[in-house]
Structure 1
């Protein structure tokens, strides 16, 4: 069959209309049946959101806006979510814009944790969008704050006094830099010129160590002579034990005669002998116990007086008669107006002393701070009270660093000494 020209034109027109209708329906998102499930979102304001706008979940298109309705509590937006898409509970519903002036859309942000999914017909609360008006208002406030800041800076920097102060500060900084350069040069010259003094100090330290060794040798000989290589303590123990044994024998003899003697005077003498023997035995026991618990520690030290530029040596013996009782015997400033020290004290971590300090009556206080540090405070000479402060820090089992300040209460006579102490 042969079609006429009019028929051909009509057929082409009908096909074109069908294609146009298909494109309109397909590209415009029209649907003749609602597929999916509804979700209702309530906003305070929607910033121009309209029916047919896209719904996106994490940037992926998942539905469209079916209806935008004004209600007393704000604006309700009815969404149609595509079948098979599950929106987690706790997801955030916001309104976004494609570009600066593009079309609005609903943006769904997934929650941090998933505790289930929204059921069909669920109602959720959306977050209000930050519109362009709010952005402009915020920018206006920021600009006003910047203008106020600039005005304040102009008022401050425009003041002639401030300008003068800034100029003076710059000039002073330049002068300080010049002074620092001069100081660096002076220190370099000082270091170069003091090289000889440093060598002298090293030689003095070597001499000091030699003197300390000699003093140690002399004290060692003194202690050996006094102790007689341990014989003195041994003899003392033997004497006390003999006294104890003799007292016991006398007591036994007197007891054996007590039933035989009939003379009243002899009986009284015998009872007195028994009492004296018993007392002597008890005293011997106490003395023997004390002798067995006696401990002695000798120490020597060499100090350098930084104010008077001279060396001082001292030696002492600390006798510990019990865990809390002790006595200190020694000599300070050996060979340079030697001064006697003899004190008795009581205490452990915090101990008090009383007796002779540097040849004068006085009292002292010792405090142990930890295992290594010891502080001492002495007050002596009642006629012209002087206060001495001393610190001692242990650096080795028998070696200590010593710092001492004499005449703390007399600024004109204050002297500071540092040195080394060793015990044995």
Structure 2
């Protein structure tokens, strides 16, 4: 009798444990939660395969699930200004209510490229109040791959028809292009001698230019030019040095002319002498200014500034000019055609 009771107890305990395990399995697999939740509704035109029980996530963390999907067919709702095809009911955990604000956005995305769709929440501006329970928001539909493929297929069909038409614009372009190439070919053949002559003349011109540049460089680099520049520099410096005292003496002479010639010369003679000394003063001023200008110009040239100074003093400009002429000599077509 006791043995029979022991068996019954064991069987009852096994059944109880099995029921507990089954309930736990249902809770885990069914996504049941004992946490407090609140409800938010989101409208979509194309949920793109979203299913009941799909997770709701914020920053990749699950905070709720999809409770239901209601097909509305675009019926008007006095609570919102838009017409939706599908309304999704979300159950969101109460603990994250304060982090979802009035301007929050709801989007449908997937776990990976081909994963199951779920709803992602962009919380919005933290300065705004939390989203109230029972609110209805307009979600952002996911991009439709099927619609994109259909449009791409239509585009490819249109392109194929355009390419295969005998009287299409592409055929006209091809014919015109062939005619243009043929015309250019005939033009070159008909003017072959002229083109050859132009090429030879260009080569001769470039060779002459190289010789001219070389001769100019030899003259510029020669001692004669340097000696002339040095002489001009010394002459202008001496002239500027001498004109200063001469100008001062002339001014002193004019200042004391009345005192010197009052008793010995008449008015006409004094006026003539004043005029002569005034002209000497003007000549001295002009000579001094000219000397300063010439001296500045010589220094400018010696420093390699300006076009003349660069040509006379800068070896790099000469080398560049010689290289350009050499390139034109070997490639005369560059005078007529730019790359």
- Short-chain TM bin: 0.5 to 0.7
- With a CA cutoff of 8 Å and minimum separation of 6, indicate the structure with the bigger relative contact order: 2
Q: Distance in 1 between matches of 2:297 and 2:180?
A: 58
Aligned to 1:337: none
Confirm whether residue 77 of structure 1 aligns to residue 63 of structure 2: no
Check 1:150–1:195 CA distance in 2 against 1; reply closer, same or farther (3 A cut): farther
For residue 228 of structure 1, give the secondary structure of its aligned residue in structure 2.
helix
Aligned to 1:54: 55
Q: Distance in 1 between matches of 2:284 and 2:151?
A: 82
Aligned to 1:399: 296
Partner deviation per Cα, 1:179-232 (whole Å, 9 max, x = no partner)? 9xx89x9588776665522323x6325314414543664576567556525412
Q: Distance in 2 between matches of 1:157 and 1:238?
A: 102
Deviation at 1:82, TM superposition (A): 0.9
For residue 95 of structure 1, give the secondary structure of its aligned residue in structure 2.
strand
Confirm whether residue 196 of structure 1 aligns to residue 210 of structure 2: no
Aligned to 1:234: 255
Q: CA RMSD in A?
A: 5.1
Q: Distance in 1 between matches of 2:91 and 2:140?
A: 19
Aligned to 2:80: none
Confirm whether residue 206 of structure 1 aligns to residue 193 of structure 2: no
The count of residues paired between Structure 1 and Structure 2 equals 251
More helix per residue: 2
Check 1:167–1:203 CA distance in 2 against 1; reply closer, same or farther (3 A cut): same
Confirm whether residue 125 of structure 1 aligns to residue 125 of structure 2: no
Query: CA contact under 8 A between 1:54 and 1:61: conserved in structure 2?
Result: yes
Unmatched 5+ residue regions in structure 1? 169-174, 243-290, 302-313, 317-393, 403-416, 420-424
| Alignment equivalent of 1:160, drawn from 178, 188, 211 | 178
Aligned to 1:37: 38
Check 1:140–1:206 CA distance in 2 against 1; reply closer, same or farther (3 A cut): farther
For residue 21 of structure 1, give the secondary structure of its aligned residue in structure 2.
helix
Deviation at 1:46, TM superposition (A): 1.8
For residue 61 of structure 1, give the secondary structure of its aligned residue in structure 2.
strand
Q: Distance in 2 between matches of 1:208 and 1:36?
A: 98
Query: CA contact under 8 A between 1:156 and 1:162: conserved in structure 2?
Result: no
Q: Distance in 2 between matches of 1:116 and 1:45?
A: 29
Deviation at 1:45, TM superposition (A): 2.8
With structure 2 as the length reference, what TM-score do the two structures score? 0.54
Aligned to 1:23: 25
Aligned to 1:115: 128
Check 1:238–1:38 CA distance in 2 against 1; reply closer, same or farther (3 A cut): farther
Deviation at 1:41, TM superposition (A): 1.6
Check 1:57–1:141 CA distance in 2 against 1; reply closer, same or farther (3 A cut): farther
Unmatched 5+ residue regions in structure 2? 76-82, 187-195, 263-277, 300-306, 310-339
Q: Distance in 1 between matches of 2:11 and 2:161?
A: 75
Confirm whether residue 88 of structure 1 aligns to residue 101 of structure 2: yes
Query: CA contact under 8 A between 1:157 and 1:163: conserved in structure 2?
Result: no
Deviation at 1:118, TM superposition (A): 1.7
Deviation at 1:50, TM superposition (A): 3.0
Check 1:226–1:103 CA distance in 2 against 1; reply closer, same or farther (3 A cut): closer
Check 1:315–1:93 CA distance in 2 against 1; reply closer, same or farther (3 A cut): closer
With structure 1 as the length reference, what TM-score do the two structures score? 0.45
Q: Distance in 2 between matches of 1:58 and 1:189?
A: 77
For residue 149 of structure 2, give the secondary structure of its aligned residue in structure 1.
helix
Deviation at 1:12, TM superposition (A): 3.6
Deviation at 1:98, TM superposition (A): 3.1
1:25-424 alignment runs, 5 A limit: 25-30=27-32, 35-71=36-72, 72=75, 73-74=83-84, 75-85=86-96, 86-111=99-124, 114-140=127-153, 143=156, 159-161=177-179, 195-200=217-222, 203-211=224-232, 213-214=234-235, 217=238, 221=242, 224-225=245-246, 227-228=248-249, 230-235=251-256, 298-300=285-287, 315=290, 399=296
Q: Distance in 2 between matches of 1:14 and 1:26?
A: 18
Deviation at 1:139, TM superposition (A): 3.5
Q: Distance in 2 between matches of 1:296 and 1:144?
A: 92
